């Protein structure tokens, strides 16, 4: 649902609740073959990516979301070499993965080439030149078909796509069919993480619970967690899935040790 005015970005958060930000400038507005894309400068959150009327990331707090998405899985793996990113068009997810100097190859697949091109141009503070890293390979394709055709397996798989709105480009990427494909493309000691939407009493039934339940039909170990993202107006949920790795067993000492071992930049 898109609600807007010439001077404000107004976004429904939940029933009876909206969030509004004054727009200082619209840098880009385009309809791609897959979605409506806006990049704005806002008075509160700074430069922001908005897809189909929903805020995806903002200059003020994108690091909260992207660090929360990437690092629990990467640190829990202990030795990630090959990483698959599904979505992540603004390049910030790749940016966080590429901080690990021992990562050898990152494959990013996104259906919307125009979106990625727009983000490369207008969101430099999001991607921080990650697109120029020689370890990153980008494929523009339908993710389900792409994963189905893959022959290799990955240490870490990160799903960073918009919420599964019916008929939206990401809808099929939250299904049991896709999760089964991903399991076959993940090493036995690998781990997957997916953004799973807003959490809390008025949100969790919309997406988070469904994602967690579907993943639990596919993987032995599934763990959910949440963080607060101010620009989303809500806590936000993520789910990890694996056959061998349980992030909930991590201790502060283990995490500190892993971060030193993993040669993390930034």
What is the C-alpha separation between 206 and 213, in angstroms, rounded? Answer: 12
Q: Please count the residues of the chain.
A: 266
Question: What's the burial of 78, exposed, middle or buried (CB within 10 Å: 0-12/13-18/19+)?
Answer: middle
How far is 194 from 197, CA to CA, in rounded Å? Answer: 9
Which position among 110, 160, 163, 265 bears the catalytic label?
160
For residue 26, the surrounding DSSP H or E stretch is: strand 17-31
* Residues forming beta bridges with residue 195, ordered by sequence position: 238
Do residues 38 and 221 make contact, with C-beta atoms less than 8 angstroms apart? Answer: no
Q: Rounded to whole angstroms, how far apart are CA atoms 58 and 60?
A: 5
**Are the CB atoms for 76 and 50 separated by under 8 Å?**
no
> Is 160 annotated in the active site?
yes
CB 198 within 8 A of CB 237: yes
Q: What residues act catalytically? A: 160
């Amino acid at each position: 649902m898109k609600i807007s005015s010439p001077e404000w970005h107004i976004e429904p958060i939940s029933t009876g609740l909206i969030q509004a930000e004054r727009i200082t400038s619209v840098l880009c507005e385009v309809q791609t073959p897959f979605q409506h894309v806006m990049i704005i400068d806002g008075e509160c959150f700074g430069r922001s990516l908005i897809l189909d009327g929903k805020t995806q990331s903002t200059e003020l707090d994108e690091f909260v979301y992207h660090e929360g998405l990437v690092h629990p899985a990467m640190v829990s793996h202990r030795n990630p070499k090959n990483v698959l990113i599904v979505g992540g068009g603004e390049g910030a997810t790749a940016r966080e993965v590429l901080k690990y100097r021992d990562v050898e190859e990152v494959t990013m697949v996104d259906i919307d080439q125009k979106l990625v091109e727009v983000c490369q141009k207008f969101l430099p503070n999001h991607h921080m030149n990650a697109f120029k890293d020689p370890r990153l390979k980008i494929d523009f394709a339908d993710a389900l078909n792409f994963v189905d055709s893959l022959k290799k397996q990955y240490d870490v798989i990160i799903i960073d796509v918009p919420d599964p709105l019916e008929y939206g480009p990401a809808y099929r990427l939250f299904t049991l069919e896709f999760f089964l494909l991903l399991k076959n493309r993940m090493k036995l000691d690998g781990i997957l993480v997916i953004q799973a939407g807003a959490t809390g009493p008025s949100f969790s039934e919309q997406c988070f619970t469904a994602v967690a339940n579907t993943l639990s039909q596919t993987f032995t170990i599934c763990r959910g967690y949440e963080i607060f993202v101010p620009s989303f107006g809500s806590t936000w949920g993520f789910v990890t899935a694996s056959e061998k790795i349980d992030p909930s067993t991590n201790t502060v000492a283990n995490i500190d040790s892993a971060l030193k071992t993993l040669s993390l930049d930034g």
